[in-house]
Amino acid sequence: MAVPGTEFVKEPNKLILCFDGTGNTFSGSNADTNVVKILNKLDRHDRHQYHYYQTGVGTYDINETSVNKSWLGGIRSRISQTIDQGAGTTFDSHVMAGYRFLMRYYQADDKIYMFGFSRGAFTAKFLARMIQKVGLLCMGNEEMVPFAYRLYQRYLEGEVEDFENPDSSSDAPAVDGDRQPLLSGDKSTENHGHTYESAENEIVAFSNTFCRKETIKCGDKYVQANVKVYFLGIWDCVNSVAVLERAPPMPATVAGTAHYVRHAVAVDERRVKFKPALLSQDIRAQDVLEDIEEVWFPGCHGDVGGGWPAAKDDHKSTPESMGTWQRFKRFWTSLKPKGASKDVRTDAFQMSDVALSWMIRELEYVGSLDEQASVKWSPNKKGYQDAFMSKTSQVQALEGAIHDSLIFGNCSSFFKVLLWKFLEILPFITRWELMGNEWKKVRFPLNRGSYRDIPRDAKLHDSLKHRLENDKEYIPGNNHGDQTEPCFRRKDGQLTDLHLAKPKKNQELDKKHQIWTFAP
């Protein structure tokens, strides 16, 4: 008989899923996204750790059965990939592929980690919520995965129905300090619509019949509940899954998605098709139990999630410093990696490395709370952190060039910029905008390259404050909605007052990753 307190505790397996951004895939260079870079730093030899990587939407034809295709088959495949990049037509296939991986390898008490960038971030968030709501099918039921997906779709349709037809007699949910914005029309109601009620009842029956459960503590007792993702780490999540959308999708619920959620958001992205899917659009009630952090970083979409190549003098690559031929080349072509790096450890750093370093720090913090549940790292992680601390690397990361795809000659080819600018003036693309203290669906006025709205209680990374203080030409046009004046610099050019936020409990103060907030 074992002595009390000495019982062997089995180390749980860690199932780690990585979803790359639209059009992104492995290149072996510093142009890889943060999804690939964080996978590179994990210990893939640990017997308690399983890894899954999925290239971005539009990088492969899900229907192809052969790598070596005919000339006609190659054209068909490229057309299919192009359509997928623009419209996200295979979103369901990407979600179900990740679901099948979990279904095959998950065992009781395992810890699930998910990472994603761009639409891959939305895929990860959607999948995490689907698992928590519908459940994770028992091993060997692959044929039932499409049914589980359609069941969750019907449930979401019920949520949208309730969202668009709220019960006017119900009270609005509690708001954190009366500062947290609400979704327009969002009311908590006990009287759900028929679609919601029907799907909810079907989900409960389906989950109790076919899905695995985990034991969780609820108050003073233990109960059986659906499997829940342990950590969700995402970079600049966008919810755009269709070019010709008549209405933006309702923000996917984040409450109940994962025990720990981390989201790095880009301040300077302006494209209408890259409006962020913010966690703050959903976090409304005061009793949210998850540990959720959403932090804003300087730069555009790829400056937070990665995907652009970087040179050692990238922070000096201004049009004024370029030669005539270099400016001409930059105007007509997009920035691309020159090939795989001989040694990625010697590659230059760039802006996206700040958000990557922050995510690694958050993973280390979560790991310190429960060492059994923490991920195992390869030596690459320490090498990366040591290199990131050098003065040269800090200059490259904090002062790197911003890649704005709405500016000719900046990073994207002439025709790509032309396409993005055309989308800015299309009248049928709707989006979420902050008006007063509510997120509302709007179509007019047209986006026309406007900056993202930033909630008043947003958390701002120290790298953003550093750039505002050290680059006088850096003047982001973000505001708090309602066409108010810019929230970072006043009309007289002076910086807005920012307050240092308190670090989380048991987390050491790291000056490179300090968090700031707007003055109340």
Sorted by sequence, the CB contacts under 8 Å of residue 377 that are 6+ apart come out as 41, 42, 43
What single string gives the DSSP state of each residue in 245-286?
A: -SSPPPPPP-TTSEEEEEEEEESS---GGG-B--GGGT---T
Q: What is the pLDDT of residues 337-360, one digit of tens each?
A: 776 776 777 788 999 999 999 999
- Inform me whether the pLDDT recorded for 153 exceeds 70: yes
Tokens of 4: 């009390």
Q: Where are the domains of the chain?
A: 14-518
Q: Looking at the DSSP assignment, which residues form a beta bridge with residue 112?
A: 15
What confidence tier does 336 reach under pLDDT thresholds 50, 70, 90? confident
Q: What's the rounded mean pLDDT across residues 261-274?
A: 95
Rg of the chain, C-alpha, whole Å: 23
* Angstrom distance (rounded) from CA 54 to CA 25: 8
- pLDDT value, residue 47: 95
- pLDDT value, residue 113: 99
* Angstrom distance (rounded) from CA 205 to CA 197: 13
Which stretch, 82-91, 322-331, 432-441, has highest mean pLDDT? 432-441
- pLDDT value, residue 128: 96
- Inform me whether the pLDDT recorded for 443 exceeds 80: yes
- Percent of the chain whose predicted confidence (pLDDT) is above 70: 75
Q: What's the rounded mean pLDDT across residues 468-497?
A: 88
Sorted by sequence, the CB contacts under 8 Å of residue 219 that are 6+ apart come out as none
Higher pLDDT, 264 or 199: 264
Number of helices and strands in the chain (H, E) = 13, 15
- pLDDT value, residue 22: 77
Task: Work out the end-to-end distance of the chain between its first and last CA atoms, rounded to an integer number of angstroms.
Answer: 60
- Inform me whether the pLDDT recorded for 412 exceeds 90: no
Instruction: Say what angle helices 119-133 and 91-105 make with each other, to 10 degrees.
Output: 50
CB-CB neighbours of 63 under 10 Å: 10
- Percent of the chain whose predicted confidence (pLDDT) is above 90: 50
Tell me: cis bond preceding 276? Omega within 30 of 0 counts. no
On average, the pLDDT of the chain sits at 82
What confidence tier does 188 reach under pLDDT thresholds 50, 70, 90? very low
Which residues of 270-388 form beta strands (DSSP E)? 291-297
Torsion angle in degrees (nearest 10) through CA of 250, 251, 253, 258 = 150
Q: What is the pLDDT of residues 130-140, one digit of tens each?
A: 999 999 999 99
Task: With CA atoms as reference, report the closest residue to 95 among 123, 128, 68, 116.
Answer: 123
Q: What is the pLDDT of residues 12-47, one digit of tens each?
A: 999 999 999 877 777 778 889 999 999 999 999 999
Q: What is the pLDDT of residues 68-110, one digit of tens each?
A: 666 566 665 555 555 445 445 578 889 999 999 999 999 999 9
CA of 506: how far to CAs of 113, 362, 502, in Å?
Answer: 22, 12, 11
Higher pLDDT, 462 or 341: 462
pTM: predicted TM-score of the whole model, two decimal places: 0.87
